[in-house]
Amino acid sequence: MTRSEENYIKTIFHLGRQGMEAVSTNAIAELMETKPSSVTDMIKKLSEKDLVNYKRYQGVSLTDLGTQTALGIVRKHRLWEVFLVEKLDFSWDEIHDIAEQLEHIKSDKLIDRLDKLLDYPKFDPHGDPIPDKNGDFKERDRKLLSEVEIGTKGVCVGVKDSSASFLKFLDRNHIALGHQIEVLEIEEFDGSLNISINQNNMQISHQIASNLYIKINEQ
Amino acid sequence: MTRSEENYIKTIFHLGRQGMEAVSTNAIAELMETKPSSVTDMIKKLSEKDLVNYKRYQGVSLTDLGTQTALGIVRKHRLWEVFLVEKLDFSWDEIHDIAEQLEHIKSDKLIDRLDKLLDYPKFDPHGDPIPDKNGDFKERDRKLLSEVEIGTKGVCVGVKDSSASFLKFLDRNHIALGHQIEVLEIEEFDGSLNISINQNNMQISHQIASNLYIKINEQ
DNA sequence: ACAAATTTTTAGCTTTGCCTAAATTATTAT
DNA sequence: ATAATAATTTAGGCAAAGCTAAAAATTTGT
Ligand SMILES: [Mn+2]
Ligand SMILES: [Mn+2]
Ligand SMILES: [Mn+2]
Ligand SMILES: [Mn+2]
């Protein structure tokens, strides 16, 4: 598989996660910053190789083979992200672009040894699950902070938006994975929240809350 | 720079090391397993970018810019090789092909952090020197085992041929970097040597001796 | 139901990096 | 010195992966 084919497969995988229907040509083009006509060309090629199901004008979805392929790439991307943070002291906002390159390195042995070096991590630095050798992973039971009710207590376990600008914002405001969060108040007017995080009280916009995942504490 | 451009630059660098004259089109083509006409095409492009000096039919050599570029790629290649051996327990015959991929990853910060993680190694697993951040490195004072006289004592510090088949041969015969070697006899007839290595006596062909570097012991 | 708007595909073109075959230049041998 | 040989370059083409513009199919709004 070429690098470009791998990038398309990965994009279709990510778009296919939310919303269970077939993925649209335009959605792929937008996420990949390319043109719809280019997407159509590539989809045909992927279809030839039995990586996607495709009928003209009907959108596209991954086959089982395509899904396995995607999981392999996602596994590599996330393991390299862990490596960059754990072994090379990168911060979570610097790693995505480098992992975009590293995810295309071809060597099963390499990735399995890396997995071992990192002690078989289950989640990447943004809280996303890492598929194992066989493509299996458990999606963590988590909710967007914007969708829980007043009084909810939980721990911050992930981000939905993992752009550098959002991650840097979280750093500046001392919001990090693993922190305890309690929702104290929800403002009717603009949906902003008053929360306590790590013992500190702060006000965050709906926008922020809708990009933070928490795991609600068992009581 | 594209991956292909980087590979050409690196090849010209390696060919330029031995023999100080300009590198020939055919030599490049052979080493890269491509056709001379393709080489000519690429050389023109590299010449446009001031990475090589080129006059039709006169061969090619790296400019200062080209040399710096090559040193950067070689640095990455060799640091990744050290990583694979030191951190992921690969053997020295498995690492070259993976490093061929990793050497093209673009991130200065990544490579400097890797350098630090590995504690700034000076040589790669095959005994080749690793250029530092600025492209500086010291060529170790070493000689081919086939070119020293009877009675010479030294330590094995590198291999000339680093193909997997040669390296595996060395493993099978318990020849490794760091081992003490003494030349006991040289057979006139076929140039084979009787040596002691790590206290053991063995007979090695001229072919083998001409691919092993030793550093002669100070006396 | 049908026109308008949107989405998707097709057609044709570009660049990169490679190829083969033919032409050119340099080198070697007589 | 010239002919043969070898090395190198040029010419012309191909496949991958992108693009723009135009055509076709689908979806939406009235
Ligand atoms: Mn990422
Ligand atoms: Mn991530
Ligand atoms: Mn190597
Ligand atoms: Mn090496």
Within 7 A of a protein CB, which nucleotides of strand C?
7-12, 16-22, 25-26
β-pair partners for B153 = B182
Torsional sign, CA B125, B79, B72, B52: positive
Task: Tell me which chain B residues have a C-beta less than 8 angstroms from the C-beta of A6.
Answer: none
Name the domain boundary from B12, B35, B62: B62
Residue in the structure block whose two tokens are 């810019």: B65
Whether A34 maps to a domain, the answer reads yes
First to last CA, chain A: 48
**Whether the predicted pLDDT of B19 surpasses 80:** no
What are the CA-CA distances from residue B204 to residues A210, B122, B168, B208 (Å)? 70, 29, 15, 6
- In the predicted model, what is the mean pLDDT of residues A52-64? 97
- Distance (Å, rounded) from C-alpha A214 to C-alpha A157? 5
Mutant choice from B77, B79, B98, B108 vs A, greatest count of A C-beta within 10 A = B98
Q: Please, are residues B54 and B5 in contact by the beta-carbon 8 Å criterion?
A: no
Whether B116 maps to a domain, the answer reads no
Total tally of structural domains belonging to chain A:
2
Whether B201 maps to a domain, the answer reads yes
pLDDT value of residue B219: 75
Measure, in angstroms, how far nucleotide C29 C1' is from residue B66 CA.
Answer: 38
**Whether the predicted pLDDT of B73 surpasses 80:** yes
Torsional sign, CA A179, A182, A188, A189: negative
- A18: domain CATH number is 1.10.10.10
**Whether the predicted pLDDT of A193 surpasses 80:** yes
pLDDT value of residue B216: 97
pLDDT value of residue A21: 83
Q: Which residues touch strand C (CB under 7 A)?
A: A 24-27, 36-37, 39-41, 43-44, 54, 56-59; B 2-5, 34-35, 37-38, 41-42, 45, 57
Contact B98 A105 (CB under 8 A): yes
Whether A109 maps to a domain, the answer reads no
Q: Nearest CA to CA, how far is A84 from chain B (Å)?
A: 8
Whether B52 maps to a domain, the answer reads yes
pLDDT value of residue A219: 75
Whether A92 maps to a domain, the answer reads no
Q: What distance in angstroms lies between residue B77's CA and the mean position of ligand 3's atoms?
A: 6
Whether A124 maps to a domain, the answer reads no
Picking from A89, A101, A110, the nearest residue to B105 by CB comes out as A101
Instruction: Tell me the average pLDDT of chain A.
Output: 96
The pLDDT confidence band at residue A149, using thresholds 50, 70 and 90, is very high
- In the predicted model, what is the mean pLDDT of residues B59-88? 98
pLDDT in tens, B142-155: 999 999 999 999 99
pLDDT value of residue A18: 76
Picking from B97, B110, B117, the nearest residue to A98 by CB comes out as B110
Contact B109 A87 (CB under 8 A): no
- B191: domain CATH number is 2.30.30.90
- Distance (Å, rounded) from C-alpha B213 to C-alpha B127? 9
- Distance (Å, rounded) from C-alpha A49 to C-alpha A6? 12
**Whether the predicted pLDDT of B158 surpasses 90:** yes
pLDDT value of residue B17: 87
pLDDT in tens, B95-134: 999 999 999 999 999 999 999 999 999 999 999 999 999 9
- Distance (Å, rounded) from C-alpha B98 to C-alpha B84? 9
Name the domain boundary from A17, A37, A62: A62
Structure tokens at A196: 């306590």
Within 7 A of a protein CB, which nucleotides of strand D?
7-12, 16-22, 25-26
- Count of Cβ atoms closer than 10 Å to residue A169 Cβ: 16
Whether A211 maps to a domain, the answer reads yes
Give the residue numbers spanning the domain of B195: 143-216
Of A89, A64, A92, A65, nearest in space to A78 by CA: A92
pLDDT in tens, A67-109: 999 999 999 999 999 999 999 999 999 999 999 999 999 999 9
The pLDDT confidence band at residue B20, using thresholds 50, 70 and 90, is confident
User: Which of A11-25, A32-46, A145-159 is predicted with the least confidence, judged by mean pLDDT?
Assistant: A11-25
Amino acid at residue number A155: V
- Distance (Å, rounded) from C-alpha B143 to C-alpha B217? 11
On whether the pTM is more than 0.85, the answer is: yes
